[in-house]
Structure 1
Amino acid sequence: MLKHTLAAAQTEGHVPSGFATRTGISLKPRYYEDILAQRPEVGFFEIHAENYLSAGGPARYYLDLIRQYYDISVHGVGLSLGGDEPLDVAHLERVAALVERIEPAMFSEHLAWSRHQNSFLNDLLPVPYTPERLQVLCEHVDQVQTRLKRQILIENPSSYVEFHSSAMPETEFIHELAQRTGCGLLLDINNVEVSCFNHGHNPYQYLLDFPMRAVQQIHLAGYALDEHAALALKIDSHDAPVADEVWQLYQYALQRIGDCPTLIERDGQLPELSQLLKEAQQADQIRANAQELRHAN
Structure 2
Amino acid sequence: MLDARADRPNTVPNRAGVGFKAQHLDGILKDPDSIGWLEIHAENYMGDGGRPIAQLRHLRERFAISCHGVGLSIGAEGPLDADHLTRLKTLVDWLEPGLFSEHLAWSTHDSHFLNDLLPLPYTQATVDRVVDHIDQVQTTIGRQMLLENPSTYVAFAESDRSEIDFLRDVAQRSGCGLLLDVNNVFVSATNQNYSPEGYIDAFPTELVGELHLGGHEQDADDFGALLLIDSHSRAVVDPVWALYEYTLAKSGPRPTLIEWDNDIPDWSVLAAEAARADHLLSAQPALPK
TM-score category by the smaller chain? Answer: over 0.9
Q: 1:10 aligns with which of 6, 30, 38?
A: 6
> Bigger CA drift: 185-194 or 58-67?
58-67
The letter of the residue matching 2:176 is: C
2:186 maps to: 193
In the alignment, residue 238 of structure 2 is paired with which amino acid?
Answer: D
8 Å contact kept, 1:212–1:257: yes
Who is 2:100 aligned against?
Answer: 107
Q: How does 1:33-48 map to 2 (within 5 A)?
A: 33-48=26-41
- Higher alpha-carbon deviation: 258-267 or 31-40: 31-40
1:289 paired with 2:283, answer yes
Instruction: Measure, in 1, the Cα distance between the counterparts of 2:29 and 2:283.
Output: 30
Could you tell me whether the CA contact under 8 Å between 2:214 and 2:232 is conserved in 1? yes
Cα separation, partners in 2 of 1:210 and 1:21, compared to 1, 3 Å: closer
Does the CA contact (< 8 Å) of 1:217 and 1:261 recur in 2? yes
Deviation of 1:208 (Å): 0.8
Q: CA deviation at 1:21?
A: 3.9
In percent, how many aligned pairs have the same letter? 44
Shift in Å, 1:274: 1.2
Change (3 A) 1:229 1:56: farther
Gaps of 5+ in 2: none
Query: Is this contact kept in 2: 1:49–1:75, CA < 8 A?
Result: yes
Residue 273 (structure 1) aligns with: 267
2:136 aligned partner:
143
Which residue of 2 is the match for residue 167 of structure 1?
A: 160
TM-fit CA distance, 1:238: 0.2
2:205 aligned with 1:212 = yes
Aligned counterpart for 1:89 among listed residues 66, 74, 82? 82
Aligned to 2:247, what secondary structure does the other structure show? helix
**Separation of aligned partners in 2, 1:201 and 1:14:** 40
Q: What is the rounded CA distance, in whole Å, between the counterparts of 1:241 and 1:256 in structure 2? A: 24
2:253–2:285 Cα contact (<8 Å) kept = yes
Distance 2:159 2:214 in 1: 27
Instruction: Name the counterpart of 1:249.
Output: 243
Decide whether the 8 Å contact of 1:14 with 1:106 is kept in 2. Answer: no
Q: Which residue number corresponds to residue 232 of structure 1?
A: 226
Residues matched between the structures, number: 287
CA distance in 1, matches of 2:167, 2:144: 15
TM superposition score normalised by structure 2: 0.95
Give how far 1:65 is off.
1.3
Give TM-score, length-normalised by structure 1.
0.93
Contact (CA 8 Å) 1:76, 1:107: kept in 2 or not?
A: yes
For residues 121-162 of structure 1, the C-alpha deviation after alignment (integer angstroms, 9 at most, x for no partner) is: 000000000000100000000000000110110000001111
Structure 1 equivalent of residue 253 of structure 2: 259
The more displaced of 268-277 and 132-141 is: 268-277
Deviation, structure 1 residue 272: 1.0
CA distance in 1, matches of 2:244, 2:31: 29
Between 1:132-141 and 1:38-47, the stretch displaced more is: 38-47
Provide closer, same or farther for how the CA distance between residues 154 and 117 of structure 1 changes in structure 2, counting only shifts above 3 A: same
- Are the aligned partners of 2:74 and 2:105 in contact in 1 as well (CA < 8 Å)? yes
Instruction: Look up the equivalent residue of 2:98 and give its one-letter code.
Output: A
Query: What is the rounded CA distance, in whole Å, between the counterparts of 2:282 and 2:48 in structure 1?
Result: 40
- Give the partner amino acid of 1:6: D
